């Protein structure tokens, strides 16, 4: 994303296919990222500064390998060994399911595709060109509501996943724990408060700033009823 911003790219195209997205659906569910799952599996994702598109979303890995063989393209397997973490276990599980039923991956993705997309799962109108006509037709098919008719979302400062609300700041007064999604709170943030300073040292300044802005937004929403409007006289 940083390279795309520095070079002025208008879109970031990822090669995530049906097989990889099917694994992500199950692993995200296991990790407690069910609320934000719909954001990651759409054809377009404009929550980032450079919109992300997934043109191979409907293409299973087997079809892509056949296409590469027909075009005499070399196939390189980057990860040959299955890891012991959640992602590795899910990949092995989906592979077994696929061997039993070749359509299982497509079924997983189609089932997850019934989740309601977020307002940022569309390409901004200012960036729409002739190449985005297909994306526009897909948006009509999935009946995406206008952005102005949907409530604004809060985003996790670490993984940028959308959240329905921020954590309880009273029980989690620390900035990051109040602003992060539950998945990052329990999987990425250190358990000991004394380790947070070292954790901060590994983070880019952009993430720190995003957490501060998000926390300010959460506080403003909590005291919204006590704020004076612009057209109200001060007391």
Q: Do 115 and 200 belong together in one domain?
A: no
Q: In angstroms, rounded to a whole number, what is the distance separating the alpha carbons of residues 235 and 227? A: 11
- pTM, to two decimals: 0.71
Q: How many domains does the chain have?
A: 2
Same domain, 39 and 14: yes
Is 131 within the bounds of a domain? yes
Q: Mean pLDDT throughout 118-145?
A: 60
Q: Of the residues 97, 132, 149, which one is the last residue of a structural domain?
A: 149
Q: Per mean pLDDT, which of 30-39, 59-68, 139-148, 213-222 is the most reliable?
A: 59-68
pLDDT tens for residues 26-70? 999 988 888 889 999 999 999 888 899 999 999 999 899 999 999
Structure confidence at residue 169 as a pLDDT band (50, 70, 90): very low
Residue 233 lies in a domain: no
Same domain assignment for residues 124 and 196: no
Whole-number pLDDT of residue 23: 94
What is the CATH classification number for the domain harbouring 26? Answer: 3.40.50.620
CA 190 to chain centre: 22
Residue 194 lies in a domain: yes
> Where in the sequence is the domain holding 188, given as residue range(s)?
154-226
Burial zone of 95 (CB within 10 Å; 0-12 exposed, 13-18 middle, 19+ buried): middle
Q: What whole-number distance in Å separates Cα of residue 161 and Cα of residue 95?
A: 27
């Amino acid at each position: 994303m940083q390279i795309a911003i520095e070079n002025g790219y208008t879109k970031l195209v990822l090669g995530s296919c049906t097989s990889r997205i099917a694994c992500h659906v199950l692993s995200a569910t296991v990790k407690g990222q069910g609320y934000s799952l719909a954001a990651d599996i759409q054809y377009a994702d404009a929550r980032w500064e450079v919109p992300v598109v997934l043109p191979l979303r409907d293409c299973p890995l087997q079809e892509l390998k056949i296409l590469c063989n027909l075009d005499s393209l070399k196939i390189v397997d980057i990860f040959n060994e299955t890891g012991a973490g959640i992602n590795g276990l899910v990949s092995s599980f989906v592979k077994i399911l696929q061997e039993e039923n070749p359509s299982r991956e497509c079924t997983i993705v189609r089932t997850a595709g019934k989740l309601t997309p977020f307002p940022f799962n569309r390409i901004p109108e200012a960036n729409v060109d002739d190449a985005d006509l297909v994306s526009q037709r897909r948006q009509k098919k999935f009946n995406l509501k206008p952005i102005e008719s949907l409530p604004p979302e809060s985003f996790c400062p670490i993984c940028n996943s959308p959240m329905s609300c921020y954590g309880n700041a009273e029980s989690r007064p620390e900035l990051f724990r109040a602003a992060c999604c539950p998945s990052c709170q329990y999987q990425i943030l250190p358990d000991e408060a004394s380790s947070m300073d070292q954790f901060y040292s590994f983070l880019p300044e952009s993430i720190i700033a995003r957490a501060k802005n998000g926390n300010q937004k959460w506080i403003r929403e909590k005291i919204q009823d006590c704020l004076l409007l612009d057209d109200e006289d001060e007391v």
